[in-house]
Amino acid sequence: MSYLSLQKIKISGVAACVPKTIEETTSFPLFSTIEAHNFIKTTGVERHRRANEAVCASDLCLSAAEAIINDLKWEKETIDCLVFVSQTPDYILPATSAILQERLGLSTNCYTLDISLGCSGWVYALSVISSLMSNGSMKRGLLLAGDTILKMASDKDKSSYPLFGDAGTATALEYTENGGNNMNFVFNTDGAGYQTIMIKDGGYRNLPSLNSFVPHIVSEGIERNDLHLVLEGMDVFAFGISQAPKSIRGLVEHFSIEIEDIDNFYFHQANLFMNEKIRKKLKISEEKVPYSLQDFGNTSCASIPLTMVIQKDKPLTNKKQTNIACGFGVGLSWASVYFETDKIVISELQEI
C-alpha cells in the first residue's frame, strides 16, 4: 500500500448533475419479470439515468460546477485549479479539463488536468488536487468527476447495461491556513487484472477497425462488439470483497483511526450485494453506509460524490463529520481516504 497524508485542505461543497432520462430496470427489454426482480435484488439498481447523444460527462460536470460555485458564492477568478477525472472525455485530444476551464469562465492562470480513472477515480483525483493545493499557492480548486458510462455499454448486454448510470459531479476544495482538516489516503494498483473491466478496441493498442463494430453473441441476452465495455462479473466481485475491506483496514491501522468513530462510509457504488459484503466484513452499521444505487446505478467515478449529495438528511451539511470513502474497480485500481467535513454546502441535484 502507498500512503499519503495532507493537512490544511477542506472540502467546502459538493454538487452533482444527472440526465433527465430515467430508464427502469423492470422495463429493460432483455429481462423477463423474474430476471428483472432478481437483478434488482442482487444489484440494488431499480433505475438509472441515461444521457442523450448530445450530452457528455463534461456537460454534467459543468452543470454541477456552476451550481456549487453559485451556492458557495465564489468569484470564478479565485479558482486556481481544475482536475477532471473521467473515462468518457469529449475528445482523444485536447484535454477536456482545458475545455471546461473556458466553458466555466475560469482564469487562464488556472491549472487544469485530466485523469483517466473510473471506480477509484474520485479518491485518486482528490489526492492529486489536494496535493497541488497543500502548500497554499493554490487557494481554491474544483474536482470534477463524471462519466457517461452507458455510452460504453451495449444495450443488448443484460449483464452490464442495466447496472450502470450516467452522472457528473463537482467537489469544491479550499486551502485553510490554520485549519486541521486532515486527509489520509491509501492506494493500490494491480495491472495484472486490466482485462477484468475493459474495452478491447478503440485505443492505440487495438485501433478501431470494421471488425470492431461486428457484434458477438456471448450468451443469451449478452451481445456486444469490441468497442463495448466488458465486465467480468465474478472476477470483479472477488476483487471487490477482498481488496476494499483490506484497503479500509490498512487506512485505519496506518493512521491510527478508530473505525467505530467514523460517521459516514462512502463506498463506490459497485452493486448492492458486493457492497453489503464489504460492509459486513468491516462490521459497519447500515446507517453509516448510504447508497445511490437504487435510483442512479453504478455511476463510475461519480458514485462517491453523488452519494454524498443525495444522502438522506444530508448530515454533511448539519455538523462536523468524519468520513471514509473507498473506490475500487477498473485498472485494477483501488484507494481509500479519511477526510473531515464541517457543515459543507451540498447543492440541489441538477438535471439536464
Question: From the CB of residue 279, how many other CB atoms can be counted at a distance below 10 Å?
Answer: 18
Handedness of CA 317, 86, 7, 5 (dihedral sign): positive
pLDDT, tens digit only, all 352 positions of the chain: 999 999 999 999 999 999 999 999 999 999 999 999 999 999 999 999 999 999 999 999 999 999 999 999 999 999 999 999 999 999 999 999 999 999 999 999 999 999 999 999 999 999 999 999 999 999 999 999 999 999 999 999 999 999 999 999 999 999 998 776 789 999 999 999 999 999 999 999 999 999 999 999 999 999 999 999 999 989 999 999 999 999 999 999 999 999 999 999 999 999 999 999 999 999 999 999 999 999 999 999 999 999 999 999 899 999 999 999 999 999 999 999 999 999 999 999 999 9
Q: What is the pLDDT of residue 209?
A: 98
| CB contact at 8 A, 315 and 321 | yes
Superfamily of domain 1-343 in the CATH hierarchy: Thiolase/Chalcone synthase (3.40.47.10)
Q: What is the pLDDT of residue 181?
A: 79
Calpha distance 153→143 (Å, rounded): 25
Question: From the CB of residue 261, how many other CB atoms can be counted at a distance below 10 Å?
Answer: 8
| CB contact at 8 A, 279 and 265 | yes
Q: What is the pLDDT of residue 178?
A: 79
Calpha distance 163→101 (Å, rounded): 32
Ordered by start, the domain boundaries in the chain are 1-343
Q: What is the largest CA-CA distance in the chain?
A: 60
| CB contact at 8 A, 305 and 171 | yes
Torsion of CA 307, 313, 318, 322, to 10 degrees: -50
CA atoms within a 13 Å half-sphere pointing along the CA-CB vector of 308: 36
Calpha distance 29→47 (Å, rounded): 14
CA 260 centroid distance within chain: 25
Rg (CA), the chain: 19
Q: What is the pLDDT of residue 180?
A: 65
Burial bucket for residue 191 (CB in 10 Å: 0-12, 13-18, 19+): exposed
